[in-house]
Amino acid sequence: MGFDVHHIREQFPILKTTMHGKPLVYLDNGATTLKPKAVVDAIDHYYEEKTSNVHRGAYQLSSDATDLYEGARVKVRDFINARTENEVVFTKGATQALNLVAQSWGIHNLKAGDEILCSELEHHSSFLPWQYVARVTGATLKFIPLTEEGRITVENTKSVLTENTKVIAINYVSNVMGYIAPIKEIAALAHSVGAILTVDAAQALPHMKVDVQDLDCDFLSFSAHKMCGPTGTGVLYGKLDLLNVMEPIEFGGEMIDLVGDVTSTWKDAPYRFEAGTPVIAGAIGLGAAIDFIETVGYENIVAQELKLRQHAIAGMKEIDGLTIFNEGAETGIISFNVDGVHPHDMASIYDAEGICVRAGHHCAQPLMKWLCQPATVRASFYFYNTMEDVEAFLAATRQGKEFFSDVFF
Ligand code: C6P
């Protein structure tokens, strides 16, 4: 069957709810996506019928839970085309995964004189871990200059790459601009000087096929909740030869090999990085989210997002005094401001109409500085949004524009 948005929407119970008496128009998918019933059911199934801890119990129930948890790891392996499931570390989210690389690989491998390349396009979760590593190791943090449009390119990466570059830490898709970075080419550049590439793919996995072997990145992080999965769950992919020589950053149950009075030894990856009871229900939910996304199909996801985005941009261009910051983006994000109106004021207008958008700095303050804006409004579409959602968004935008021009001018 072809893509039928109404059939898709039936699988998201929250879309039947209302907000301020209006149908819910959810355009904050960059922050988190809605959850289909299949994901909620998979989590319920674990809690209602398989609750037990994993890797520990010598009884059938625990063995069943372990199969579900490890089965999810295999699903992630296939989904991102990792060489082995041992390259898949479950974390509590992209933020924890990105910090794990910086705290474990970064702190132990960098010294004064080494250079880390980052960019002003980064989410704080991609940037701050390396800012901290630079501070404590004495390494230098450098920005890849952005193009006029605000993109990371191969050329501008080359312009700051040196023999001292040891890490490139960048996003695959920007959470404010929605641009896709040329990760495969930048991985080759990094490796040409012996550096590693760690990729923040939190906004990539929801929208596009990611093949870690094809990209040849060294690390890649993402969150389940941005791709129809549960909150509190994420993944760090890492090349196995790197993961297996990295020190854990958390210590506790199940990550050990042998514990002595003075020193102890660790399990191989991924378990050395999963101290304590892991994110069992979350991983199972992520597995169900992967099944769901594969059933919908990335080609349909992208086509629907871009159709909506195009329609929204065309409508927005008919409204005077509106600045769009990322007209050429390849994913369903639109960042904009209405001249003279604070983004939070616009967000209240949308909210009154049942429309959810994000307003603020989007955890990307260096980018706000680059854009010379304290904040922006961000509407982010996903495949369950409709043309009616776009129309409601455009009507509220016009209404906000008129309301605030009457108030202030
Ligand atoms: N961005 C947004 O509204 P967590 O919070 O760990 O699941 O993901 C962090 C993160 C990392 N990188 C990028 C590119 C992101 O967009 C995010 C989360 C949300 O844009 C919440 S701040």
pLDDT tens, residue by residue, 69-82: 999 999 999 999 99
**Whether the predicted pLDDT of 19 surpasses 90:** yes
Alpha-carbon span 235 to 157, nearest angstrom: 26
What digits encode the pLDDT tens for the residues 178-214?
Answer: 999 999 999 999 999 999 999 999 999 999 999 999 9
Atom index in ligand 1 nearest the CA of residue 93 equals 6
Mean pLDDT computed over 301-327: 97
Tell me if 82 sits within 8 A of 222, measured CB to CB. no
**pLDDT tens-place string over residues 226-236:** 999 999 999 99
Reply yes or no on whether the pLDDT at 404 is more than 70.
Answer: yes
Q: Which of 92, 363, 378 has the most ligand 1 atoms within 8 A of CB, as the residue to mutate?
A: 363
pLDDT tens sequence across 220-257: 999 999 999 999 999 999 999 999 999 999 999 999 99
Using the predicted structure, report yes or no on whether residue 275 has a pLDDT greater than 80.
yes
CA-proximal residue: ligand 1, atom 1 (nearest): 31
* Alpha carbon of 81 to ligand 1 centroid (Å): 23
Mean pLDDT to the nearest integer, 316-342: 96
Active-site position among 118, 217, 228, 363:
363
Confidence of residue 98 (pLDDT cuts 50, 70, 90): very high
CA of 199 to the centre of ligand 1 (A): 13
| CB contact burial 345-367 (16+ within 10 A = b; e otherwise) | bbbebbbebbbbbbbbbbbbebb
Residue 230 is predicted with a pLDDT of 98
Non-local CB neighbours of 1 within 8 Å, separated by 6+ positions: 7
Q: CB within 8 A of 289, min separation 6: which ones?
A: 35, 36, 39, 224, 227, 228, 229, 230
pLDDT, mean of residues 296-316:
98
Ligand 1 pocket, mutate which of 32, 91, 125, 126 (most atoms under 8 A from CB): 125
What value does the mean pLDDT of the chain take? Answer: 97
pTM: 0.97
* DSSP bridge partners of 116: 141, 167
pLDDT at 406 over 80: no
Q: What's the confidence (pLDDT) of residue 385?
A: 98
Would you state the torsion angle of the CA atoms of residues 6, 400, 335, 97, taken in this order, to the nearest 10 degrees? -70
pLDDT score recorded for residue 23: 97
Confidence label for 56 from pLDDT (cuts 50, 70 and 90)? confident
Classified as helix, coil or strand, 323 is strand
d(CA 315, CA 310): 9
* Residue minimizing CA distance to atom 16 of ligand 1: 175
Q: Is the pLDDT of residue 1 over 80?
A: no
Let me know if 228 is a catalytic residue: no
pLDDT the model gives residue 68: 98
Atom of ligand 1 nearest to the CA of 175: 16
Distance 202 CA to ligand 1 centre (A): 6
Band (359; pLDDT cuts 50, 70, 90): very high
| Distance of CA 362 from the midpoint of ligand 1 (Å) | 8
Ligand 1 closest atom vs CA 98: 11
Position 119 pLDDT exceeds 60: yes
From ligand 1's centre to the CA of 120, what distance in Å?
Answer: 15
Cβ 43 vs Cβ 284: under 8 Å: yes
**pLDDT of res. 2:** 85
Mean pLDDT of 130-158: 98
Per-residue confidence band for 408, with pLDDT thresholds at 50, 70 and 90: low
Quickly state the pLDDT bin for 57 (edges 50, 70, 90): confident
Give the distance from CA 369 to its chain's centroid. Answer: 22
Candidate from 34-38, 80-84, 214-218, 405-409 with smallest mean pLDDT = 405-409
What pLDDT, on the 0 to 100 scale, is given for residue 405? 79
| CA of 122 relative to ligand 1 center, distance in Å | 10
- Name all residues whose Cβ lies below 6 A of ligand 1: 30-31, 93-95, 123, 125-126, 171, 175, 200, 202-203, 223, 225, 358, 362-363
